């Protein structure tokens, strides 16, 4: 039995400790906003925050989490940076199929939380790990800049 | 003095010098000579029994015991083609003068060793004398020569229980004169001591067991000891590190800065048995394979014995491999020196590598991905960094399998060089300057 | 494919036969049938194929016959319907249509398929008529109630207004009454100058749920009691399972069962992790079968050999043989197999019970999904319930139903609902690949023009497998799309297709279909000829585009906006390409820098598109941007290779994707030309490779006639 704190709520889950957080979130807790894309830390679709840090949940064994707080796309709107990112995403119509966008927004929210006015190099550094097969990159860059200037 | 006398004098001087060099090479120390003390015949060593299987296997049946020894000797690593049936041979060794393939050692009568007599097996294993000609020292018979008859035959007995696989070993593809197998008898005469293991009466049973495991079975020196001009191990620099099969085998001597002198016993033991020690690095390439196929399956007591033995190898400093830098890199991306050193490398790192290794290098998801403090990123040649990028790595740990994918297929030589240079500059003691051409060579080395 | 070269196939009717009915609770239902033979199938009386539902509170629900995979079609369809209906945009919602070719079939395919960038092209007129017809009966209903002439009424946002009396009534209040009325046979459409929605960059309707994690894709389906499965296919196509040892798998926590089928082995568990771990713990022996010797080099050899066989001529003008003479300029081009790698891996959730099969998935071909499930289970199609979802990318991959078929085959052995998810490795190794092609071109220059052109296209025929009725007389209109109808004015011209199917590899449609390959080849060769002729590539093209004025305009505009002809730093170059693909006219200029190591840096892209009426210009621009990234990914990195019958790539580390930090600024200019809308979902993809290759030539003088770009060739380490 592993106890997790996800989006502020405690969950006792009966899973092996080496099970990646991604599958615990999706298949056990039922939070399907976090997506599976590659399973090898190459695409970023599974990005969540652990104590505010963006991490690949497909590679993160739940047994190593301890009491650290997990935040997923379902709750990121409650943070200032997350809400700003979501608003900018809508304003600039970033999204296409949308499948990668949970991960994109989680990565962007983490960036905005630590770097309120990111430049292009900061955006590259924070976002290059997230693949978008629909090719929304140009708008992701714009949206992050827009979110940064939003009140 | 007449001209001719001067010439004669010079010739004599060259001959003497040549003989000196020859003698230096040919009569170098044996692998255990560093320890001094008194070598005694096995039967005379009463303190313990350094050969055979460990106590845990004492009551196992002969096949199980042979299997343990076969694993400890890691026959499988070389006698298995990539993706092929274990022990059926076919792994290519690409050398500058051609390619040689490891033979099939399953009991198939025509293509394997099913028809060999015990005597033929012993001669091949310990003397490099195959039934059809001399063996090349790619087969470490100069190490296996220390095996006892009983252990060698136990291995033989185990191999005989394998399912025979029909698989012809490709013919040697060496250029002349290297294709002349008989030349190897000269090599063997000079460099194969052709003697069985003799314990050191002045050392503990654990040390002697470790020596037998490291020298006779595990043949650690084959990669970790530099070679001389004749391609024999130069035990004057025992375990000081070398590049083998395109990978760097690091300094295992007691040197604190550049060897394993600074490691705790527990760290060495964990590295050997799990292929990973936190903050020290993660085994990949041939060492990863040695851990997977061999070391990880050794008993606790055998690992402890290996640690005891390795700890006694005298320190040799190898300043070309500086002391690993252990400090974390900054948690943000900007690091001017590294960024300028390899901008293309940064670009790839922030896309493909960052998810596991993080800007700090601290391996946010699994300790196995920690870069700081590892030998590989502190190697100014970045040999293993480049190889791991090309080939990837896979470690099984008590927490499950941990895999780094192989990027060699989709990334160019220039890109791999750039990432290696960026990684060493950002996380290591000294930035590397690997070129695309060097990466191309590394790809071909294995 | 462009509409003009599409064969009739199933009879194509642009008449929307409206069907009106009453909804439960007093609302209005409007359906329409777009195909003549489908009209006959629809029984008299109202069939519940509603496209528009108006309930008494005025809420308007639109049913989506096409699927949303990122192209923004849900929003565009809603915009078209709402425009002609004069609906209050804020009261419009939508839902997925159930499967039915007869009721929701795409007018071009004759089946309920979304692909070929033709949703808007195919549904443009029918949807407008549906909207306009509905509006007409709402007006009738209001006029009748007021006792006035319908002609004296007009509509505003979801209401009918009688200006003379100042009366107005909302659509909701009219819905019940309108249900009994007869719609006009040919409703009057709005003059485009009166459009209030079409042509505006309205917010997409599907995005709010996609930024907060609530959007549901097929992979998110969670029917009660669902179990999770993943599987391994035989690594070689046609291979079979020889032996499975599941001893170790059984001790994996959460493991439920192993399903061994003829050609695959699946593991079912309490969660995907159990399934993945269980699969990894299986020892499976495969019998590879006949294709175990297939490799990429062999496939290419076969294509090259086949290319000297006579092919099926798609178009011929003048006397090409004579005009080419014996010293024609010749070149051969090659493009590789490509995987789709949709971001959402293949998946399908299935629950098979006695007499019923329910499916949850996201698919481009709803009715085919239903049909294949019916075939596997032996159930009549009506007993197969398909719940369609948003698609995490389609790109042609979800025009196939193997994800459904596999899942149903597995689910037949599982008592609970089971979600079958492909690992990324399975997804890439068992795709239906974009064909590898070998193209031979010959041309003759006459001054500043091309006087003769021959193009022999060798490769498989996806159409023959996917839509056999459209593959008539060996003619594959997709294989020659954009080649047979090249925009250039060339007096002697011949294009043919030699069909050569690769052994052990199934090929399928891939974003950009025929044009994605043909435009690369043609526009590269045109560039070669421009350089031979010593003429600026833009001028050279303009000189031969007399019959394609829309393309000329786009090209001039692109040249201006990209700064064509202005100086660039060392090692940099600009390349241009034009295309008439999918009835959208595009000119693209790409600027690159190539360093000594052969690394290609994308500097900037300028793309001008005339897609006729752009229903939602922002969506058009987004599709072009995204399509370009998709095409650039393929041109720079994309290649599926085969060794011993096995696909060698497996995941994003070896089947590489362009990333954000490698993507240049992309400026898209959408020209509004007032023509009927063209297709846009794939046009950007098609435009990427040729302009890139031409830019690389401009920067380095090296002509790359093979994709992907070989950086060793650019670095001089290898011959082209
Ligand atoms: S699914 Fe975790 S990074 Fe791709
Ligand atoms: S929006 Fe489709 S993958 Fe990013």
Q: What is the pLDDT of residue C345?
A: 98
Render pLDDT for B242-289 as a digit per residue (tens, 0 to 9). 998 899 999 999 999 999 999 999 999 999 999 999 989 999 999 999
CA atoms of C671 and B233, how far apart (whole Å): 74
Q: Is A58's C-beta closer than 6 angstroms to any atom of ligand 1?
A: yes
Q: Mean pLDDT over residues B205-211, rounded?
A: 97
**Cα–Cα distance for residue pair B324/B374, rounded to 1 Å:** 6
| Least reliable range by pLDDT among B99-108, B230-239, C40-49, C50-59 | C40-49
Residues C218, C420: Cα–Cα separation, whole Å: 10
pLDDT at residue B152 greater than cutoff 70 = yes
Q: How confident is the model at residue C5 (pLDDT cuts 50, 70, 90)?
A: very low
- Any idea which of B49-58, C89-98, C652-661 has the lowest mean pLDDT? C89-98
Mean pLDDT, rounded, for C519-524: 98
**Mean pLDDT computed over C610-630:** 95
C363 compared with B188, residue with greater pLDDT: C363
pLDDT at residue C33 above 60?
Answer: no
Q: Suggest the residue from B330, B355, B367, B368 to mutate for an interface test with chain A (most A CBs closer than 10 A).
A: B355
Residue pointed to by tokens 């209001």: C142
Locate the ligand 1 atom nearest the alpha carbon of residue A35 and give its number: 1
Whether C390 has its CB under 8 Å from any CB of chain A: the answer is: yes
- For residues C717 and C280, the model is more confident at C280
Which ligand minimizes its atom distance to the CA of A97? Answer: 2
Cβ distance of C654 and B415 shorter than 8 Å: no
The chain-wide mean pLDDT, for chain C, equals 91
Query: Look-up: residue for tokens 């036969």?
Result: C17
Identify the pLDDT of residue C12: 31
Contact flag B410-C653 (C-beta cutoff 8 Å): yes
Ligand 2 site, residue A101, Cβ cutoff 6 A: yes
Sequence-distant (6+) residues with CB within 8 A of B160 are B107, B114
Section C193-217 average pLDDT: 94
B:C CB pairs within 8 Å: 47
Contact between B446 and B393 (Cβ < 8 Å): no
* CB of residue A44 inside a 6 A radius of ligand 1: yes
- Per-residue confidence (pLDDT) for residue B367, from 0 to 100: 86
- Which of the ligands is closest to the CA of residue C344? 2
Q: Is C42 a residue whose pLDDT tops 90? A: no
B28 or B149, which is more confident = B149
Residue segments in chain A with a per-residue pLDDT below the cut of 70: 151
How confident is the model at residue C684, as a pLDDT? 96
**Cβ–Cβ under 8 Å, residues C105 and C35:** yes
How far is it, in rounded angstroms, from Cα C34 to Cα C30? 13
Cβ–Cβ contact C654 with B under 8 A: yes
Residue of C nearest to B412 (CA): C711
Distance CA C488, CA C551 (A): 10
Which residues lie closer than 8 Å to B113 by C-beta, 6 or more apart? B103, B104, B105, B106, B107, B121, B159
What's the pTM?
Answer: 0.93
Across the interface, which of A27, A36, A73 has its CB nearest the CB of C213? Answer: A73
Whether residue C228 has a cis bond before it, omega within 30° of 0: no
The interface pTM score, or ipTM, of the predicted complex is 0.92
What tokens does B369 get?
């991905």
Q: What is the mean pLDDT of residues C569-584?
A: 96
Query: For residues C72 and B214, which has the higher predicted lDDT (pLDDT)?
Result: B214
Interchain pair C655, B410: CB under 8 A = yes
The best mutation among A134, A139, A143 to test binding of ligand 2, ranked by most ligand atoms within 8 Å of the C-beta, falls on A134
- Check pLDDT > 80 for residue C551: yes
The alpha carbon of residue C309 is apart from the nearest alpha carbon of chain A, in Å, by 38
* B347–C662 C-beta distance less than 8 A: yes
Min Cα separation C227/chain A (Å): 9
Rounded CA-CA distance A137/A141 in Å is: 6
pLDDT attached to residue B6 = 66
User: A23–C272: do the CB atoms touch at under 8 Å?
Assistant: yes
CB C50 within 8 A of CB C21: yes
Exposed/middle/buried for B367, CB within 10 Å: 0-12, 13-18, 19+?
middle
Strands C227-233 and C418-421: parallel
C292 touches chain B (CB under 8 A): no
Q: Which of A18, C345, C386 is nearest to B399 (CA)?
A: A18
Exposure string of C489-504, with b = 16+ CB inside 10 Å and e = fewer, is ebebbbbbbbbbebeb
Of B187-201, C258-272, C409-423, the least confident:
B187-201
Q: State phi, psi for A93 to the nearest 5 degrees.
A: 50, 55
**Of residues A80 and B190, more confidently modeled:** A80
Q: How many CB pairs under 8 A join A and B?
A: 52
* Pick among A20, A37, A59 to test the B interface (most B CBs inside 10 A): A59
Q: Report yes or no: C578 and C543 within 8 Å, Cβ to Cβ.
A: no
pLDDT given for residue B439 in this prediction: 96
Nearest neighbour of B414 by CB, restricted to C599, C637, C660: C599
Cβ-contact C274, C256 below 8 angstroms: yes
Q: Predicted confidence band at B24 (pLDDT cuts at 50, 70, 90)?
A: low
| Whether the Cβ atoms of residue C21 and residue C48 lie closer than 8 Å to each other | yes
Which of A34, A42, A48 gets mutated to test ligand 1 (max ligand atoms within 8 A of its CB)? A42
* HSE-up (13 A, CA, CB side) for residue B256: 0
Q: Do B350 and A59 make contact, defined as CB atoms within 8 angstroms?
A: no
Tell me what pLDDT residue C304 has: 98
User: How many angstroms away from the CA of B406 is the closest CA of chain C?
Assistant: 7
Grade residue C545 by pLDDT with cuts at 50, 70 and 90.
very high
First to last CA, chain C: 31
CA B326 remoteness from chain centre: 25
Predicted local confidence at residue C34, as pLDDT: 53
Question: B10-19, B136-145, C51-60: which range is least confident on average?
Answer: B10-19
Chain A contact for C629, CB < 8 A?
yes
Helix, strand counts (H, E) of chain B:
18, 11
The C-alpha atoms of residue C681 and residue C624 are separated, in whole angstroms, by: 7
> Which residues of chain B neighbour A115 with C-beta distances below 8 Å?
332
Distance from the Cα of B63 to chain C's closest Cα (Å) equals 23
| pLDDT range class, residue C43, cuts 50, 70, 90 | very low
């Amino acid at each position: 039995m592993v106890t997790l704190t996800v989006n502020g709520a405690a969950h006792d889950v009966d899973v092996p400790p080496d099970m990646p957080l991604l599958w615990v979130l999706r298949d056990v807790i039922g939070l399907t906003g976090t997506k599976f894309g590659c399973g090898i830390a190459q695409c970023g679709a599974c990005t969540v925050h652990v104590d505010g840090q963006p991490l690949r949940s497909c590679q993160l064994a739940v047994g190593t989490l301890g009491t650290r707080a997990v935040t997923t796309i379902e709750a990121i709107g409650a943070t200032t940076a997350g809400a700003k990112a979501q608003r900018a995403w809508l304003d600039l119509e970033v999204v296409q199929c949308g499948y990668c966008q949970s991960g994109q927004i989680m990565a962007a929210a983490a960036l905005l939380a630590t770097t309120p006015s990111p430049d292009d190099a900061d955006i590259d550094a924070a976002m290059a790990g997230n693949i978008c097969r629909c090719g929304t990159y140009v708008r992701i860059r714009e949206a992050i800049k827009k979110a940064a200037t939003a009140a | 003095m007449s001209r001719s006398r001067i010439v004669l004098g010079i010739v004599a001087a060259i001959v003497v010098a040549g003989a000196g060099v020859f003698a230096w090479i040919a009569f170098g120390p044996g692998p255990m000579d560093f320890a001094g003390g008194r070598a005694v015949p096995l039967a005379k060593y009463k303190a313990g029994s350094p050969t055979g299987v460990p106590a845990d296997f004492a009551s196992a049946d002969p096949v199980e015991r042979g299997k343990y020894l076969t694993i400890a000797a890691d026959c499988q690593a070389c006698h298995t083609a990539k993706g092929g049936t274990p022990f059926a041979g076919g792994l290519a060794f690409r050398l500058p003068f051609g390619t040689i393939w490891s033979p099939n050692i399953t009991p198939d009568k025509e293509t394997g060793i099913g028809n060999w007599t015990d005597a033929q097996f012993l001669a091949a294993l310990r003397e490099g004398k195959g039934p059809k000609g001399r063996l090349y020292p790619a087969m470490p018979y100069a190490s296996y020569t220390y095996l006892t008859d009983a252990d060698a035959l136990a291995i033989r007995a185990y191999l005989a229980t394998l399912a025979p696989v029909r698989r012809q070993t490709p013919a040697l593809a060496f250029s002349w004169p290297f294709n002349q197998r008989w030349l190897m008898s000269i090599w063997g005469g000079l460099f194969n001591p052709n003697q069985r293991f003799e314990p050191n009466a002045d050392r503990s049973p654990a040390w002697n067991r470790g020596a037998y495991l490291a020298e006779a079975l595990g043949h650690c020196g084959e990669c970790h000891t530099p070679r001389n001009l004749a391609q024999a191990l130069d035990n004057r620099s025992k375990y000081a590190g070398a590049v083998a099969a395109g990978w760097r085998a690091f300094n295992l001597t007691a040197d604190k800065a550049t060897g394993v002198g600074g490691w705790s016993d527990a760290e060495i033991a964990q590295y050997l048995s799990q292929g990973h020690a936190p903050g020290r690095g993660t085994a990949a390439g041939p060492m990863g394979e040695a851990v997977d196929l061999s070391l990880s399956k050794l008993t606790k007591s055998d690992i402890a014995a290996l640690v005891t033995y390795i700890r006694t190898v005298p320190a040799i400093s190898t300043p070309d491999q500086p002391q690993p830098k252990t400090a974390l890199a900054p948690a943000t991306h900007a690091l001017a020196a590294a960024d300028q050193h390899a901008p293309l490398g940064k670009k790839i790192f922030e896309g493909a590598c960052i998810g596991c290794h993080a800007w700090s290098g601290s391996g946010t998801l699994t300790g196995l991905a920690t870069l700081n403090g590892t030998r590989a990123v502190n190697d100014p040649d970045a040999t293993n960094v480049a190889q791991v990028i090309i080939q990837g790595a896979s470690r099984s740990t008590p927490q499950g399998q941990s895999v780094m994918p192989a990027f060699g297929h989709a990334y160019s030589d220039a890109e791999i060089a750039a990432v290696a240079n960026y990684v060493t500059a950002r996380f290591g003691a000294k930035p590397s300057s690997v070129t695309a051409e060097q990466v191309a060579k590394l790809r071909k080395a294995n | 494919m462009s509409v003009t070269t599409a064969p009739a196939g199933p009879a194509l009717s642009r008449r929307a036969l409206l069907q009106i009915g009453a909804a439960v609770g007093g609302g209005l239902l409007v359906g329409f049938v777009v195909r003549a033979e489908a009209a006959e199938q629809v029984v008299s009386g109202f069939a519940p194929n509603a496209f528009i539902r108006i309930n008494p509170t005025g809420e308007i629900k639109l049913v989506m016959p096409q699927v949303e995979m990122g192209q923004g079609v849900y929003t565009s369809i809603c915009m078209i319907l709402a425009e002609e209906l004069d609906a209050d945009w804020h009261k419009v919602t939508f839902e997925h249509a159930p499967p039915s070719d007869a009721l929701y079939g795409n007018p071009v395919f004759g089946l309920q398929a979304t692909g070929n960038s033709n949703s808007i092209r195919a549904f443009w007129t029918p949807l407008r008529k549906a909207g306009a017809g509905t509006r007409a009966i709402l007006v009738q209903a209001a006029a009748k109630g007021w006792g006035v002439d319908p002609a004296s009424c007009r509509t505003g946002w979801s209401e009918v207004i009688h200006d003379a009396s100042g009366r107005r009534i909302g659509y909701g209040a009219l819905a019940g009454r309108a249900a009994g009325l007869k719609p006009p046979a040919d409703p009057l459409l709005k003059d485009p100058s009166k459009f209030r929605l079409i042509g505006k960059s309205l917010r997409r309707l599907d995005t709010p749920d996609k930024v907060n994690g609530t959007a549901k894709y097929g992979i998110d389906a969670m029917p009660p009691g669902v179990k999770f499965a993943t599987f391994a296919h035989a690594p070689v196509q046609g291979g079979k399972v020889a032996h499975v040892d599941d001893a170790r798998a059984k001790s994996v926590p959460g493991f439920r069962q192993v399903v061994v089928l003829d050609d695959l082995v699946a593991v079912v568990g309490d969660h995907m992790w159990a399934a993945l771990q269980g699969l990894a713990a299986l020892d499976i022996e495969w019998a590879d079968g006949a294709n175990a010797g297939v490799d990429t080099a062999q496939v290419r050899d076969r294509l090259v050999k086949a290319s000297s066989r006579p092919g099926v001529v798609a178009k011929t003008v003048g006397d090409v043989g004579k005009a080419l003479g014996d010293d024609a300029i010749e070149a051969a081009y090659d493009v590789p197999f490509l995987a789709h790698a949709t971001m959402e891996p293949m998946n399908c959730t299935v629950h098979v019970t006695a007499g019923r099969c329910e499916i949850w998935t996201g698919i481009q071909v709803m009715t085919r999904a239903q049909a294949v499930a019916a075939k596997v289970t032996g159930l009549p199609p009506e007993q197969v319930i398909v719940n369609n979802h948003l698609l995490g990318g389609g790109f042609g991959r979800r025009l196939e139903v193997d994800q459904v078929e596999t899942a149903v085959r597995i689910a037949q052995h599982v008592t609970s609902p089971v979600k079958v998810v492909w690992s990324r490795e399975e997804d890439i190794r068992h795709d239906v690949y974009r064909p590898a092609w070998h193209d031979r071109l010959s041309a003759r220059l006459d001054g500043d023009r091309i006087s003769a052109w021959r193009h022999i296209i060798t490769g498989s025929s996806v159409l023959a497998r996917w839509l056999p009725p459209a593959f008539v007389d060996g003619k594959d209109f997709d294989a020659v799309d954009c080649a047979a109808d090249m925009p250039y004015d060339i007096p002697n011209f011949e294009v043919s297709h030699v069909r050569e199917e690769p052994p052990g590899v199934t090929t399928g449609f891939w974003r950009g279909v025929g044009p994605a390959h043909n435009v690369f080849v043609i526009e590269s060769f045109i560039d070669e000829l421009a350089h031979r002729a010593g003429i600026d590539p833009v001028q050279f093209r303009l000189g031969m585009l007399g019959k394609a004025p829309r393309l000329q305009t786009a090209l001039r505009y692109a040249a201006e906006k990209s700064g064509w002809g202005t100086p660039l730093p060392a090692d940099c170059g600009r390349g241009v390409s034009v295309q008439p693909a999918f009835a959208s006219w595009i000119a693209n200029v790409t600027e690159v820098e190539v360093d000594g190591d052969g690394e290609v840096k994308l500097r900037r892209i300028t793309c001008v598109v005339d897609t006729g009426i752009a229903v939602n210009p922002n969506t058009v621009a987004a599709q072009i941007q995204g399509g370009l990234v998709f095409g650039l990914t393929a041109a720079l990195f994309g290649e599926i290779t085969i060794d011993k019958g096995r696909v060698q790539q497996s995941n994003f580390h070896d089947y590489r994707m362009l990333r954000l930090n490698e993507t240049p600024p992309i400026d898209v200019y959408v020209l509004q030309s007032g023509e009927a809308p063209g297709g846009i979902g794939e046009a950007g993809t098609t435009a990427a490779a040729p302009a890139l290759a031409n830019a690389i030539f401009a920067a380095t003088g090296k002509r790359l006639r093979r994709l992907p770009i070989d950086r060793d060739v650019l670095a001089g380490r290898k011959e082209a």
